[in-house]
Structures are given as structure tokens and as C-alpha cells.
Chain A
Amino acid sequence: DVKVTQSSRYLVKRTGEKVFLECVQDMDHENMFWYRQDPGLGLRLIYFSYDVKMKEKGDIPEGYSVSREKKERFSLILESASTNQTSMYLCATGLSDTQYFGPGTRLTVL
């Protein structure tokens, strides 16, 4: 079974803080993705990576950056957290078309 783990299930941060969300996969997949999920909006792609040190912008990259130093780890960074970044963040890993998701991190920015 594919296992995707995310560093925290729940996180509370203050406006202006730098926030790191970590994602680790154990399947040696090349593709990794970060989404945010908001009610009524579905899942929206923030950034993705198809190889170590490679990154591509998704549909809503503003206010976020990513890092992929090792194949199994993909980090999402909020440089200066804002209240409109309060959301559920989902990491996914993929081989070809199919994507496998982690349990998500619910981030609240106060």
C-alpha cells in the first residue's frame, strides 16, 4: 500500500508566521503535489514536483513556495501566513496519472 504522511493533522499559527508543512511518501514516486481544500471549491493545486529540486506552479501558487530536496519529501512553505490561508492542505504522490493522498493538515491562521 502507498503511504503518504503529513507532519501535522492540526496546526494553529499566527498571521505573519512562516509555516512549514511536510509530506513524506514511501513509494519512490516521482510526482508529488500540494492542494488546498475549501468548502464548495473542491481541491485546488498549489504546486507540484515531478523530480528532486524541480517544482511547477499549480493554479493558486501565490503566497506559497515549495521545496523538494529528497525524492520522498515535499515541503509546502507559507512565507508569511495570512488568515485567508486557513484551509485543509492535502499532499499527494503519484505514479503516472494516479494520485494517492495523505490525511491532510488542517491549518488555522489567527
Chain B
Amino acid sequence: GENVEQHPSTLSVQEGDSAVIKCTYSDSASNYFPWYKQELGKGPQLIIDIRSNVGEKKDQRIAVTLNKTAKHFSLHITETQPEDSAVYFCAASFTGGGNKLTFGTGTQLKVEL
């Protein structure tokens, strides 16, 4: 089955700096890659996703890049703010796989003032 590895497990940045979280996946059939943000005491919330026919997607300060050949994808947050502090999860799935997501182990992002 699919295996998703996520790094780093913790990340501390200064407010205004950029943050990058990286994930690799093992199953070349995977074609959907969402990112979730989980704030304290809440369930994960989808913040951005990318499909395998696209190399990059942007939404304001958040972007995701995908390298299908290397089987890795990354989340980029620019101009970080304190409210970006949360746990971020990457995930992967493939169409026809029952819409099952395989998640990475999470990254605790802390944005310091």
C-alpha cells in the first residue's frame, strides 16, 4: 500500500519568514495530494490540494509543488503569521482506491514573534 513520509516533524520560524514542509510518497499510482491544517482542539481542515496533472498550485500565501518523477510534494507558506501556527498533514490517494487518504505523520509549525 501507499506510504507517505513527512519532514520535518517540528518547524520553528520567525514571523514573516517562509516555511516549507516536504512529503514523499511511494505509490506511483497516487494522483491526489491534499494538505490539512489542524489547530489545537480542532479537526484537520483542508487548506490546499493538487492533482498529478499539475506541477504547482497557489492560493494567496500558500503554495504546493509536486514532482511526480521524484514522488515528492511540498507545502510553502510565505510571510508567515502567528495564526499559521498549527500541525500540518500531507496526504496522498489515487482515484479508484476507494478515496482513501494515506497521511503523513504531521509537522508542528510554530511561528514566533
Contacts and interface: CB of A to CB of B under 8 A. Distances in A.
Interface of A is mostly: strand
Given A98-B34, A98-B49, A103-B43, A42 B99 contact: no
A43 B99 contact: no
Contacts of A94: 99
A60 to B, nearest CB: 12
Interface in B32-79: 32, 34, 36, 41-46, 49
Q: How large is the interface on B (under 10, 10 to 19, 20 to 34, 35 or more residues)?
A: 20 to 34
Interface string A13-27: 000000000000000
Given A97-B32, A98-B34, A100-B46, A40 B105 contact: yes
B44 A43 contact: yes
A97 B105 contact: no
A50 B43 contact: no
A90 B45 CA distance: 12
Contacts of A96: 99
A90 B106 CA distance: 15
Contacts of B99: 31, 50, 94, 96-97, 99
B93 interface: yes
